A and B are shown apart, each in its own frame.
Chain A
Amino acid sequence: MKEETKTAIVLAGVAISFAGLAVVFFTLSAIDERPAPRIVMVDSGFLDTSPVRMNYAAMVEAGEDIFDYDCYLCHSRREPVELQFDELGGLILEEHDYITFEHGPSRENNYCFNCHDRDQLDRLRTQYGTTLTFEESTQLCGSCHGTTLRDWKQDAHGRTGGYWNLAMGERTRLDCTECHDPHDTRFPTLEPAPGPHSMKNRIIVSPENNRDP
Chain B
Amino acid sequence: MSASENKPDSSSGGSMSRRSFLRVSAGATALTGLAALAAGLAPLRELSRFTSVEKFLQKHYHELSPEQMKRVLERIAREVEQQYDLRPHVRDLKPMDGVEFVYALNLSRCIGCRRCVHACVAENNQSGDPDLEYIRVVKMPKGTFDLTKGDHNYEPEEVPEDGYFYMPVQCHQCANPPCVKVCPVEATWQEADGITVIDYDWCIGCRYCQAACPYFARRFNFRKPRIPKERLNPDMSYLGNRPRESGVMEKCHFCIQRTRAGRYPACLEVCPTGARKFGNILDPDSEINYILKEKRVFTFILKEDQGTLPRFFYYLDK
Which residues of A approach B to under 8 Å, CB–CB?
Answer: 2-4, 7-8, 11-12, 14-15, 18-19, 21-22, 25-26, 29-30, 36-37, 39-42, 46-49, 51-52, 147, 151, 154-165, 167-169, 174, 179, 187, 189-200, 202, 204-207, 210
Which residues of B approach A to under 8 Å, CB–CB?
Answer: 9, 14-16, 20-21, 24-25, 27-28, 31-32, 35-36, 38-39, 42-43, 45-46, 96, 109, 111-115, 117-119, 121-122, 128-133, 136, 141, 148-149, 151-160, 226-228, 231, 259, 261-264, 268-274, 277-280, 286-287, 290-291, 294-295, 318
- Contact call B263/A42, Cβ cutoff below 8 A: no
Closest partner residue, chain A, to B224 (CB atom): A36
29 contacts between A and B (CB under 8 A): A2-B14, A8-B24, A19-B31, A21-B35, A21-B39, A22-B38, A29-B42, A29-B45, A37-B129, A39-B228, A41-B228, A42-B118, A47-B115, A47-B270, A151-B294, A160-B268, A160-B287, A164-B259, A164-B262, A164-B264, A164-B279, A187-B272, A189-B160, A190-B113, A190-B272, A192-B112, A196-B153, A199-B152, A204-B151
Given A163-B262, A179-B273, A192-B113, decide whether A47 and B227 contact each other with a Cβ distance below 8 A. Answer: no
Q: How far is the CB of B51 from chain A (nearest CB, A)?
A: 16
Set B16, B42, B43, B46: member contacting A4, Cβ < 8 A = B16
- Contact call A210/B269, Cβ cutoff below 8 A: no
Set B16, B263, B287: member contacting A156, Cβ < 8 A = B287
- Contact call B42/A26, Cβ cutoff below 8 A: yes
Closest partner residue, chain A, to B121 (CB atom): A42
Chain A residue numbers with a CB within 8 Å of B35 are 15, 18-19, 21-22
Set B43, B128, B274: member contacting A159, Cβ < 8 A = B274
Secondary structure of the A contact surface, majority rule = loop
Set B130, B132, B149: member contacting A207, Cβ < 8 A = B149
Chain A residue numbers with a CB within 8 Å of B155 are 192, 194-195
Set A11, A39, A210: member contacting B25, Cβ < 8 A = A11
Q: How far is the CB of B45 from chain A (nearest CB, A)?
A: 6
Query: In the complex, what distance in Å separates the CA atom of A192 from the CA atom of B139?
Result: 12
Q: How far is the CB of A141 from chain B (nearest CB, A)?
A: 15
